[in-house]
Amino acid sequence: MAALDSRKFEDKLKVAWIPEMCSKYPLPKEKKDRGEVLNSAEEMITSMHQDQTDSFRVPETVYKSYPSIIYMDILASVTDASVPKRLLSLVLATLKVNGKQITE
């Protein structure tokens, strides 16, 4: 996931995406009370319901110098290291084409 302006992205998350996703995917019934383990989809849905605060907020001091954001998670099942490298290269090239200076 990447966004040119992390503040605009965070605002859209709070106003549109998270509430819509939470209504589409209600909080799973508590399996933990019965000693059951949540599957990965249920864990993700639970996390989405809990992360409605400022968990995505980029600190102001960072935002002033670096307004864009990149978040990348690679599944353990991805064993070819070239896949995430190519993905990151593509995201950085896209940010650069859209006028953002990339600092390394």
Per-residue pLDDT of the chain (104 residues; tens, 9 = 90+): 788 888 888 888 888 888 898 899 988 877 656 667 888 888 888 888 876 655 567 788 888 888 888 888 888 888 898 988 999 999 888 877 876 555 54
The pLDDT value recorded for residue 82 is: 92
Q: Where are the domains of the chain?
A: 2-70
Q: What sign does the CA torsion over 24, 16, 61, 92 have?
A: positive
CB 38 within 8 A of CB 31: yes
In the block, tokens 């290269």 appear at 89
- 1, two tokens: 């996931």
The pLDDT value recorded for residue 102 is: 54
Containing H/E element for 38?
none
Cβ partners under 8 Å of residue 35, min gap 6:
none
